[in-house]
Structure 1
Amino acid sequence: MLDRIGITATSLCALHCILLPILLPALPLLGISYLADHTWEHVFLIVTAILGAIAMFSGFKRYHKKMYPFYLLVIGVAVYWVKHDFSESVQPLFIIIGATLIVAAHVINLKLCNSCKQCTDHQCAS
């Protein structure tokens, strides 16, 4: 469940970052100019990272004992976090790379958990 939430949250965050320059002029008219603030992005990214870490730790502890989904999550969050340190022309690349790594971490964790659940269910039935 947390992996699916993480995938959705990361995808929404990436869309927010990519579409923000296009929608920026309309935000004050809509009363949601706070969405353009870097603080909002960092808060959302921290929440995404916390949910992701809980999902990765849960999958690691209960099922698959593999750390690489967690490493992908950390690298993805770090890439996303430092995007503001670079020029605006390359920030979309950082967003895409960071979001892809975070989503990949969740997808891999989900697949590892499901494969271990199936193995456990199969072994219990035997």
Structure 2
Amino acid sequence: MNLFERTIKPDVAGVLAGSLCAVHCLATPFIFLAKAGSSLGHVESPLWYHLFDYVFIIISFVAVFYASKNTAKRWVKTALWSVWSILLMAILNEAFELIHLPEASVYIPALLLAALHLYNRKYCQCADNNCCAIN
């Protein structure tokens, strides 16, 4: 078990990253609508605000990596990586505006990733290194 797994449990980090990502995405329209109401200039979010997307995706990658190494259920491992991939594609699509998707395309995978980490933390922990990914 490395320092990350001993100090911060991967599933806890995943729940926090997924939940904060969803809150970040939900808050963005309200923050910039308020800004638009106070100034009539061009309303665009600053670069530093968009960098949060990448911080969340990196934190969630690390959390999924370690959580999937220590899960007792193979389907949870597959689901974690699948949902993380969908979240990554949604964030990249939003950044580069490849195709028009509703805002929920980011909320749903972020919240689903948090829910999977909660499920994994409660029901799928290995007692030792020999049990991982057996189901």
* TM-score, scaled to structure 1: 0.60
Note closer, same or farther for the CA distance 1:57–1:16 as it changes in structure 2 (3 Å cut).
closer
Sort the Cα spacing of 1:59 and 1:102 in 2 relative to 1 into closer, same or farther, 3 A: closer
CA distance in 1, matches of 2:69, 2:60: 14
Higher helix share: 1
| Residue equivalent to 1:107 | 118
Structure 2 CA distance for partners of 1:56 and 1:21, relative to 1, 3 Å: closer
Aligned to 2:26: 18
Distance apart, 1:105 and its partner CA: 3.9
Which residue identity is paired with 1:57? F
* 1:81 counterpart = 2:98: no
Q: 1:71 aligns with which of 66, 82, 107?
A: 82
User: Alignment RMSD, CA only?
Assistant: 3.1
Partners of 1:17 and 1:75 in 2: how far apart?
15
> Aligned pair count?
109
Say if 1:75 and 1:108 are closer, same or farther in 2 by CA, change over 3 A: farther
Percent identical: 26
Task: Measure how far apart 1:96 and its partner are.
Answer: 2.0
CA contact (8 A) 1:7 1:103 kept: yes
Q: Which structure is richer in relative contact order (CA contacts within 8 A, separation 6 or more)?
A: 2
Matches within 5 A, 1:49-64: 49-64=57-72
Deviation at 1:27, TM superposition (A): 5.0
Asked if the contact 2:22/2:106 (under 8 Å) is kept, the reply is: yes
Superposed CA deviations along residues 6-59 of structure 1, whole A, max 9, x for unmatched, are 222322222222222222254598xxxxx9236633x32322222222222223
Instruction: Read off the aligned partner of 1:15 and give its amino acid letter.
Output: V
Segments of structure 1 that go 5 or more residues without pairing to the other structure are 30-34, 121-126
- Give 1:108 deviation, angstroms: 4.1
CA–CA distance in structure 1, aligned partners of residues 68 and 21 of structure 2: 25
Contact 1:76 1:100 in 2 (8 A): no
The structural deviation recorded for 1:71 is: 2.0
Runs of 4+ in 1 over 6 A off after TM superposition: none
- Return the letter of the residue paired with 1:40: Y
Distance 2:104 2:24 in 1: 14
